[in-house]
Amino acid sequence: MRLDEFLKLNVSEDLAQITTTIAQSCITVWENIPFKSGLLADVNPSGERQKAIDVFSNDVFADALVGTGLVREVASEEMEEAAAGKGRVSVAMDPLDGSSNVETNNPLGSIFGMYSEPLPCSGRNLVGALYVTYGNSITITLSFGKGVHRFAAVRKGPEMSFELLGLDLKIPEKPQVYGVGGARKDWIPPVRDFVDSFEGRGMRVRYCGTFVGDYNQVLSRGGIFAYPALVGKPAGKLRVLYETAPIGYINEQAGGYATDGTKSILDISPRSLSETSPAYLGSAPLLHELERLVSAG
Ligand code: AHG
Ligand code: MN
Ligand code: MN
């Protein structure tokens, strides 16, 4: 089944068109990744130096999404203010996740949250979310509140289209892999002690430095991805609106749990577009155990 056929049967017309617009645009982004790895002078709202591909992907997605006439606004990790549109869906995006990995050809991604309310707002207002992986294949993993489904890009003549790869994906409860961002020396003590227990449980480290790439394997293998609270940086690094709420929504739809250490990430009401939080996502039993440890301090 093609992506557009699936969408026609399962989601409202505006969400369907927003999703197919992202699917068409991500091919343009993917083709340009190797040639736009240069570092620019500019910094994004999180104070991070931008790469040419960060800005290029931002402009490709934002222009295409506003051009649908179906989005209220497009907010992005790469823009101070949201781009205004007209429509009932607010889109928040990380147009290129993991851009520090462009030169090494590590997995990269794009993340999109589709919110029913104006931004910023909590993840409980998500009506859909998807992430793109640019790896050995280009895949779109998505949910609109009725399970998690995956499509892969295939070439049909001069065009690329997305074909169904898997329906109703579920995260294994038995954890096999773990990946934790930041420097070990900076992890808060409960996290460091918890991570030290993993190998004894037969878990293996799988970490590539891109949230999308690291989470994607947790969804398949069971386990945990974390970008934790750090000593000296208690709010962690990952942005709620653009990164952890959309993927936390997908993770919850797959039967997992996503927490900031004290509550579901979907219950965070960010006060600003680029607000960050500690982020721990993966198999529910392991994440509830982590929450007990972090809450106990
Ligand atoms: P982005 O490239 O969109 O800024 O995201 C990078 C993030 C995330 O993808 C990854 O998990 C994390 O940065 C890695 O951070 P460190 O390099 O500090 O480990
Ligand atoms: Mn990112
Ligand atoms: Mn990014």
DSSP string, 200-211: GGT-EE---S-H
**In the predicted model, what is the mean pLDDT of residues 10-28?**
98
Query: Which atom from ligand 1 is nearest to the alpha carbon of 181?
Result: 19
The pLDDT value recorded for residue 74 is 98
**Which of 227, 239, 276, 280 has most ligand 1 atoms within 8 Å of CB, for mutation?**
227
Q: How many angstroms separate the alpha carbon of residue 220 from the centre of ligand 2?
A: 20
Residues 8/25, Cβ–Cβ less than 8 Å: no
In order of 20, 163, 207, the CA distances from 168 in angstroms are 20, 15, 25
User: 3-state DSSP helix/strand/coil percent for the chain, to nearest 5?
Assistant: 35, 30, 35
Q: How many angstroms separate the alpha carbon of residue 110 from the centre of ligand 3?
A: 8
The pLDDT value recorded for residue 216 is 98
Among candidate residues 129, 163, 156, the one with its CA nearest the CA of residue 241: 129
Query: Which atom from ligand 1 is nearest to the alpha carbon of 225?
Result: 11
The pLDDT value recorded for residue 61 is 98
Q: How many angstroms separate the alpha carbon of residue 197 from the centre of ligand 3?
A: 31
* 109-145 confidence digits (pLDDT tens): 999 999 999 999 999 999 999 999 999 999 999 999 9
Residue nearest to atom 14 of ligand 1 (CA): 209
Query: Which atom from ligand 1 is nearest to the alpha carbon of 97?
Result: 3
Fold of domain 3-166 = Fructose-1,6-Bisphosphatase; Chain A, domain 1 (3.30.540)
Residues 70/19, Cβ–Cβ less than 8 Å: no
**In the predicted model, what is the mean pLDDT of residues 164-193?**
97
Q: How many angstroms separate the alpha carbon of residue 58 from the centre of ligand 3?
A: 9
The pLDDT value recorded for residue 210 is 98
Q: How many angstroms separate the alpha carbon of residue 134 from the centre of ligand 2?
A: 13
Residue nearest to atom 3 of ligand 1 (CA): 97
The pLDDT value recorded for residue 24 is 97
The pLDDT value recorded for residue 296 is 86
Q: Is 130 in a helix, a strand, or coil?
A: strand
Among candidate residues 17, 211, 19, 226, the one with its CA nearest the CA of residue 133: 211
Q: How many angstroms separate the alpha carbon of residue 96 from the centre of ligand 2?
A: 7
Residue ranges of the chain that CATH labels 3.30.540.10: 3-166
Residues 20/151, Cβ–Cβ less than 8 Å: no
Residues 290/280, Cβ–Cβ less than 8 Å: yes
Residue 73 — pLDDT band, cuts 50, 70, 90? very high
Phi and psi at residue 4, to the nearest 5°: -65, -35
The pLDDT value recorded for residue 184 is 97
Which ligand ends up closest to the CA of 236?
A: 1
Residues 75/266, Cβ–Cβ less than 8 Å: no
Q: How many angstroms separate the alpha carbon of residue 177 from the centre of ligand 3?
A: 24
| DSSP 8-class letter at 118 | P
Query: Which atom from ligand 1 is nearest to the alpha carbon of 48?
Result: 4
Q: Tell me the residue ranges of DSSP E strands in 30-105.
A: 39-43, 49-51, 71-76, 83-84, 89-97
Pairing of strands 279-282, 223-227: antiparallel
The pLDDT value recorded for residue 156 is 86
* 225-260 confidence digits (pLDDT tens): 999 999 999 999 999 999 999 999 999 999 999 999
- Ligand 1-lining residues (CB < 6 angstroms): 48, 77, 94, 97-100, 181-182, 209-211, 227, 237
Quote the CA–CA distance of 88 and 115 in Å, as a whole number. 9
Q: Is 48 in a helix, a strand, or coil?
A: coil
Residue ranges of the chain that CATH labels 3.40.190.80: 177-296
Domain 177-296 CATH class label: alpha beta
